[in-house]
């Protein structure tokens, strides 16, 4: 009986640690703000038709991207996409930067993976 009494606190501690690590993993996956996810889904819907199926596919797509690309890297890639459309020297800096190209390539790979999984 004494052994069972000393095991209970250990089991409770292990269960608490497992629950905490599960929450931390979910926070890591959900580091994209809701507004960024909504903006992505809205743009995706405009490109793919505004149907119930497209909502499911676009929601899946941003989830896949969020699991593969950290949010700060996603912001960098989105900025590169936007700024590379600017004409002149400023836009040229974004088009020719190696760091910008790497961030953009990461996003494009994640989008390709999302396309395979979701569409």
Give the tens place of pLDDT for each residue, 40-79: 999 999 999 999 999 999 999 999 999 999 999 999 999 9
Confidence of residue 28 (pLDDT cuts 50, 70, 90): low
Q: Which residue has the tokens 């760091």?
A: 99
- Pair (88, 43) in one structural domain: yes
**Coil/strand/helix, residue 116:** helix
57 close to 118: Cβ distance less than 8 angstroms: yes
Looking at the fold, whether 25 and 37 belong to one and the same domain comes out as: no
Residues 77 and 51 grouped into a single domain: yes
Neighbouring CB atoms inside 10 A of 61's CB total 23
Claim to verify: residue 8 and residue 53 sit in the same structural domain: no
Domain of residue 109, residue span: 31-118
Cα separation, 85 vs 40, in Å, equals 19
Total structural domains in the chain? 2
Specify whether 73 is located in the same domain as 97: yes
């Amino acid at each position: 009986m004494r052994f069972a009494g000393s095991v209970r606190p250990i089991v409770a501690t292990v269960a608490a640690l497992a629950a905490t690590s599960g929450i931390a993993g979910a926070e890591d996956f959900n580091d994209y703000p809701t507004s960024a996810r909504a903006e992505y889904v809205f743009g995706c819907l405009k490109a793919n038709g505004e149907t119930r199926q497209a909502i499911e596919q676009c929601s899946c797509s941003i989830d896949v991207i969020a699991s593969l690309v950290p949010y700060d890297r996603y912001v960098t890639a989105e900025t590169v996409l936007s700024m590379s459309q600017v004409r002149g020297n400023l836009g040229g800096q974004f088009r020719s930067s190696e760091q910008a190209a790497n961030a953009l390539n990461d996003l494009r790979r994640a989008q390709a993976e999302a396309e395979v999984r979701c569409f």
